[in-house]
């Protein structure tokens, strides 16, 4: 144990590995901060290169890339209201509202520090609990999954700003889109209108780019106030443009560490939620962010601020999405079952490198060195994120100073290229265009966009587990026949019913008195 750890440390501090880590951090920050380029895509694009790297460098590159790109996703989220990665979608409104008040540096500072803190917590969970905790996730059958998806979706609808009904409507729109295509469980194509491309269904990445990115472009071009908006932002920004970088440490980090100390319990709670959700196969950083956002709002003393620029919301959700990353590696390493889409790729890379993930990986000394290397990289990557993330924030802040008449065509360009890149398909660009128009219309009716995206992401899996459960046993009671599924199911139902029943109960209690 001791010796493998030291070997891993020796291997990792070699100049080559450190260079790989540094370059992947820069690459991760870059990809993450461009709207429409996801962490998954960044990792997928890295695969051909991992062939030329040794095992440890390859894995280190992926870990670093993941951690940095998930944080970097917060930069465009905060500055231009376009989530850089799906994991940032939960707190888009909060982060952007802060920018409108000129607090973008504070918001990004909170994102950075809480991301690092959450990431380190996730790494600790991975190190301490990997084999034990994976056993729990291994108990999950289609029944538990069904309730888990319902839970994730309910949270998205409930926490979204505006009325709960509109959140639910947005969710249904997303779920409806998810039914397009040939479902894995039926052999019938649905709503494809003869397009072969629609057999795959609506890809959520172009959908997200359209809903958040393109609709934002439309909002800006339709009103002539775009220039005024820029002016307003500019005037809200600190006036003096100081050339000394050191002085800028203050707006970014000033007050953030006390904030972290003040919110240590909620940080702990969010990080726990993050790593737990991360561990569950199929539920990644994005769902972790949504759920911890919902819990954070429930526990908050100022829930009315959520969605209108709450630093607490940004901090909690961003700790959760970063701690989920390490969590997802637990089932991947222990069981060979991916926790999220990135670890799905990782398993492929490991197998290509002739390392078979599984309990054996913790016994074979050569492979244990690699496992320790993964632990160490998670820590190094998160520490490296502090200076590099700061630089990214500083350069990203220039984004808001660019006039909108120049920024919008450029964002449009990235929307088109980004939606094309994920699959190299023109059809996805059409999807992005359609979703952009839809997103704009929904915003006019004040219908939140987040649940639409989550509906598209999880709808297929929700339907699958639903149909799978029914094909095992068509009685509704079977949805509650296992202890974990019963607990999850009752919790989900309570989540929707309690707010409906509460007013009635209150009336009943108050009338006799």
Partner 1 sequence: MNQRAMITVSVRWKLLFLCLFLLNGCSSSTVDNYPDRPITIICPWSVGGATDRTSRQLGVYLEQELGVPVNVINATGGRGVTGHSRGLNARPDGYTLAIITGELNMLHWQNLTKLTHRDAVPIVSLVDGAAAVFVKTDSPFQNMQELQDYVKTHPGKLTATGTASGGIWHLALAGWLDFSELNAEDIKWIPMNGAGPSLQELASGGVDLVCCSLPEAKTLYESGQVRCLGVMAEEPLAEFPEVPTFISQDMNWSISGWNGLALPAGTPEPIVEKVSAVVNKITDGDVRLNGQSFPEAMREAGLSTRYRAGDEFSAFLKSNDETLGKLLTSDAFAKMSTRDTGPLVFPGMIAFAMCVILGCLAVQKKVHALAPEVTGDAVTRQGIINTILVLTGIVFYLLFAEELGFILTAGVVLFLLLWKFGTRLWVCALITVLFVPGIYTLFALLLRVPLPRGVLGW
Residues 203-262 that bind partner 1 (CB under 8 A): 217-219, 221-225
Q: List binders of partner 1 among 125-184 (CB under 8 A).
A: 138-143, 163, 165-166, 168-169, 172-173, 175-176, 179, 181-184
Rounded least distance, CB 204 to partner 1, Å: 12
Rounded least distance, CB 462 to partner 1, Å: 8
Nearer to partner 1, 109 or 167 (CB): 167
Q: List binders of partner 1 among 403-422 (CB under 8 A).
A: 403, 405-406, 408-410, 412-414, 416-417, 420-421
Rounded least distance, CB 42 to partner 1, Å: 8
With binding defined as CB under 8 A, does residue 434 bind partner 1?
no
Question: Is residue 171 a contact partner of residue 156, using CB atoms and an 8 Å limit?
Answer: yes
Count CB atoms within 10 A of the CB of residue 169. 18
Rounded least distance, CB 308 to partner 1, Å: 11
Rounded least distance, CB 167 to partner 1, Å: 10
Nearer to partner 1, 218 or 290 (CB): 218
Nearer to partner 1, 225 or 298 (CB): 225
- DSSP classification of residue 84: S
Count CB atoms within 10 A of the CB of residue 109. 25
Site string for partner 1, 25-64 (x = CB under 8 A): -------------------xx-xx--x-------------
Total residues contacting partner 1 by CB under 8 A comes to 98
Instruction: With H, G, I as helix, E, B as strand and everything else as coil, classify residue 365.
Output: helix
Question: Is residue 156 a contact partner of residue 283, using CB atoms and an 8 Å limit?
Answer: no
Among 125-133, 258-266, 313-321, 330-338, the segment contacting partner 1 (CB under 8 A): 330-338
Nearer to partner 1, 200 or 260 (CB): 200
* CB neighbour class for 268 (10 Å; exposed up to 12, middle 13-18, buried from 19): middle
Rounded least distance, CB 336 to partner 1, Å: 4
Spatial separation of the C-alpha atoms in residues 434 and 226, rounded to whole Å: 23
Nearer to partner 1, 124 or 172 (CB): 172
Rounded least distance, CB 107 to partner 1, Å: 18
Rounded to the nearest 10°, the torsion over CA 376, 381, 382, 388 is 150
Nearer to partner 1, 304 or 474 (CB): 474
Q: What is the C-alpha radius of gyration for the chain, rounded to an integer number of angstroms?
A: 23
Question: Is residue 210 a contact partner of residue 449, using CB atoms and an 8 Å limit?
Answer: no
Nearer to partner 1, 147 or 414 (CB): 414
Q: List binders of partner 1 among 259-298 (CB under 8 A).
A: 281-282
Rounded least distance, CB 324 to partner 1, Å: 19
Among 8-16, 248-256, 296-304, 458-466, the segment contacting partner 1 (CB under 8 A): 458-466
DSSP string, 107-150: HHHHHHHHHHHHHHHHHHHHHHHHHHHHHHHTT--HHHHHHHHH
Instruction: With H, G, I as helix, E, B as strand and everything else as coil, classify residue 218.
Output: helix
Nearer to partner 1, 6 or 352 (CB): 352
CA distances 35 to 38, 88, 382, 414, 505, Å, are 8, 11, 22, 7, 46
Packed helices 55-72 and 2-12: angle between N→C axes, nearest 10 degrees: 70
Q: List binders of partner 1 among 463-492 (CB under 8 A).
A: 463-464, 466-468, 470-472, 474
Rounded least distance, CB 331 to partner 1, Å: 9
Instruction: With H, G, I as helix, E, B as strand and everything else as coil, classify residue 197.
Output: helix
Spatial separation of the C-alpha atoms in residues 43 and 329, rounded to whole Å: 14
Site string for partner 1, 93-132 (x = CB under 8 A): ----------------------------------------
Nearer to partner 1, 162 or 254 (CB): 162
Largest CA distance in the chain: 77
Q: Which of 18, 129, 260, 433 binds partner 1 (CB under 8 A)?
A: 433
Q: List binders of partner 1 among 333-352 (CB under 8 A).
A: 335-338, 341, 344-345, 347-348, 351-352
Rounded least distance, CB 300 to partner 1, Å: 23
Nearer to partner 1, 47 or 379 (CB): 47
CA 79 from chain centre, in angstroms, equals 17
Q: Dig out the tokens for 471 from the structure.
A: 């094909």
Count CB atoms within 10 A of the CB of residue 221. 14
Q: Which of 3, 131, 132, 186 binds partner 1 (CB under 8 A)?
A: 186
Beta bridge partners of 181: 190
Question: Is residue 290 a contact partner of residue 338, using CB atoms and an 8 Å limit?
Answer: no
Q: List binders of partner 1 among 347-406 (CB under 8 A).
A: 347-348, 351-352, 354, 356-360, 403, 405-406
Beta bridge partners of 182: 189
Q: Dig out the tokens for 258 from the structure.
A: 């006390």
Q: Which of these, 206, 164, 241, lies nearest to 439 by C-alpha position?
A: 206
Nearer to partner 1, 298 or 405 (CB): 405
Rounded least distance, CB 509 to partner 1, Å: 25
Spatial separation of the C-alpha atoms in residues 435 and 415, rounded to whole Å: 12
CA distances 357 to 148, 336, 337, Å, are 25, 5, 9
């Amino acid at each position: 144990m001791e010796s493998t750890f030291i070997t891993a440390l020796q291997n990792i501090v070699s100049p080559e590995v450190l260079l790989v880590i540094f370059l992947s951090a820069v690459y991760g920050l870059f990809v993450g901060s461009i709207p429409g380029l996801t962490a998954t895509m960044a990792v997928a694009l890295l695969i051909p290169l991992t062939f030329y790297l040794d095992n440890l460098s390859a894995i280190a590159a992926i870990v670093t890339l993941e951690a940095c790109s998930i944080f970097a996703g917060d930069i465009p989220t905060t500055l231009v209201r376009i989530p850089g990665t799906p994991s940032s979608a939960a707190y888009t409104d909060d982060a952007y509202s802060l920018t409108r008040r000129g607090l973008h540096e504070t918001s990004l500072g909170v994102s950075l520090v809480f991301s690092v803190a959450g990431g380190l917590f996730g790494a600790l969970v991975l190190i301490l609990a990997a084999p034990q905790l994976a056993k729990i996730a291994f108990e999950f059958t289609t029944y538990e999954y069904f309730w888990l998806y319902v839970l994730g979706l309910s949270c998205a609808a409930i926490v979204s700003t505006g009325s709960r009904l509109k959140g639910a409507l947005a969710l249904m729109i997303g779920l409806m889109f998810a039914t397009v295509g040939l479902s894995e469980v039926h052999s019938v194509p649905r709503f494809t209108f003869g397009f072969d491309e629609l057999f795959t269904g609506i890809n959520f990445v172009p959908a997200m780019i359209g809903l958040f990115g393109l609709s934002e472009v439309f909002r800006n071009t339709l009103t002539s106030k775009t220039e005024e908006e820029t002016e307003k932002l500019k005037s809200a920004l600190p006036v003096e443009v100081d050339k000394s970088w050191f002085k800028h440490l203050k707006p970014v980090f000033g007050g953030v560490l006390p904030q972290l100390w003040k919110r240590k319990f909620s940080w702990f709670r969010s990080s726990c939620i993050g790593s737990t959700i991360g561990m569950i196969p199929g539920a990644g950083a994005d769902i972790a962010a949504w759920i911890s956002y919902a819990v954070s709002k429930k526990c908050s003393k100022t829930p009315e601020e959520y969605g209108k620029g709450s630093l607490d919301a940004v901090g909690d959700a961003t700790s959760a999405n970063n701690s989920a990353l390490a969590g997802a590696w637990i089932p991947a390493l222990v069981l060979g079952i991916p926790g999220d889409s990135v670890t799905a790729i990782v398993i492929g890379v490991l197998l290509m490198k002739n390392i078979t993930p599984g309990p054996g990986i913790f016994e074979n000394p050569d492979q244990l060195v690699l496992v320790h290397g993964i632990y160490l990289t998670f820590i190094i990557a998160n520490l490296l994120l502090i200076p590099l993330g700061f630089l990214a924030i500083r350069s990203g802040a220039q984004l808001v100073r660019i006039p909108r008449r120049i920024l919008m065509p450029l964002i449009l360009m990235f929307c088109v290229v980004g939606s094309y890149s994920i699959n190299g398909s023109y059809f996805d660009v059409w999807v992005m265009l359609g979703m952009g128009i839809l997103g704009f219309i929904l915003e006019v009716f004040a219908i939140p966009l987040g649940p639409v995206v989550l509906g598209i992401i999880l709808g297929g899996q929700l339907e699958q587990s639903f149909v799978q459960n029914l094909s095992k046993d068509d009685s509704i009671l079977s949805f509650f026949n296992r202890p974990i599924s019963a607990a999850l199911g009752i919790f989900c139902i309570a989540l929707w019913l309690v707010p409906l029943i509460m007013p009635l109960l209150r009336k009943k209690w108050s009338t006799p008195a």
